[in-house]
Amino acid sequence: MLRIDAPAKINLALHITGQRADGYHLIDSLVVFAEFGDQVSVELSDKDGFQLDGPEAAALSSEAASSNLVVRARDALRDAARRSGLDMPPVGIYLDKRLPVASGIGGGSADAAATIKALCELWDYRPGPEVLAKLALDLGADVPMCLDGKPLTARGIGEALNPVELGFDLDLVIVNPRVGVSTPSVFSALKHRNNAPLPSPEGLNDKDRFVEWLRTTRNDLQPPAQQMVPAIADCLSALRHAGASLARMSGSGASCFGVFDSPGAAQAAAADLQQQHSGWFIAATQTTR
């Protein structure tokens, strides 16, 4: 059995810079990935199968298996192989769901990306980068960046990716109030869609300077999301009171993150927050490079 991590995606900054004629919004985002996340396991089998487990699995248990991004990623990759004249064997896929569902930290997209990576390895199938890029984007705007899995800027509708060489890891606490947020509704509530783009990152080898620069950026989806879900403001306030040097919402919410000075500070803050807000999802983690 082959196991692949599906790390949480964190939008450190997310600027909305326009909207295409087809309705897709244009973004300019700085994205990092965390050590914490889901895990996808695959193995050859007599027939295709999909099993769901983990502490956050209940939120997906009523979803039809065929609509899960993991299954859609498997089918899309098999179709791509078939067009190349290859017939891929059945597989069993197991998803250990640890990230909250529909929470702005890329859980489903990360799962799809991990499935693609795992099956390429299991099937010994090596599609070209153009095939993979189109396949990932067809599954969702966040899947290409999750397939990349390293610090990057994402532009366009999420398909134009450029690596960012961070010289350090960030110590984070991720908090989710377990209140659902509709991504289309958040985008619809945006008052301005032609905002200033993300400035060039500074302090890529100096954590303090980088966090100072990060404060000059924003998440343009945070104000409309907070209006729809006031609990987001509660999460941000709690993170600041716990000692975060920066607190911000990720993606379209409702997950928020706080930046802390050290792994110990993040873990202590997470423990304190869990005592105060037992109904929230809370996890201390570190970014990866």
Q: Which tokens in the block code for residue 26?
A: 């244009």
SS3 93: strand
Q: Rounded to whole angstroms, how far apart are CA atoms 179 and 166?
A: 32
CA 85 to chain centre: 33
Q: Is the peptide bond before 13 cis (omega within 30 degrees of 0)?
A: no
Print the SS3 string covering 114-169.
HHHHHHHHHCCCCCCHHHHHHHHHHHCCCHHHHHHCCCEEEEECCCEEEECCCCCC
**249 touches 104 (CB < 8 A):** yes
Of the candidates 5, 9, 38, 207, the residue annotated as catalytic is 9
Q: What secondary structure does DSSP assign to 208-277, as a single string?
A: HHHHHHHTT--BTTHHHHHHH-THHHHHHHHHHHTT-SEEEE-TTSS-EEEEESSHHHHHHHHHHHHHH-
> How buried is 205 (Cβ within 10 angstroms: 0-12 exposed, 13-18 middle, 19+ buried)?
exposed
Q: Is 79 a catalytic residue?
A: no
Report CA-CA distances (Å) from 283 to 16, 109, 209, 225: 28, 19, 25, 21
Which residue in the list 5, 28, 96, 142 is annotated as catalytic? 142
Is 207 labeled as catalytic in the residue annotation?
no
Q: Is 253 in contact with 234 (CB distance < 8 Å)? A: no
Contacts with 23 (C-beta within 8 Å, 6 or more apart), sequence order:
none
Question: What amino acid positions are annotated as catalytic residues?
Answer: 9, 142
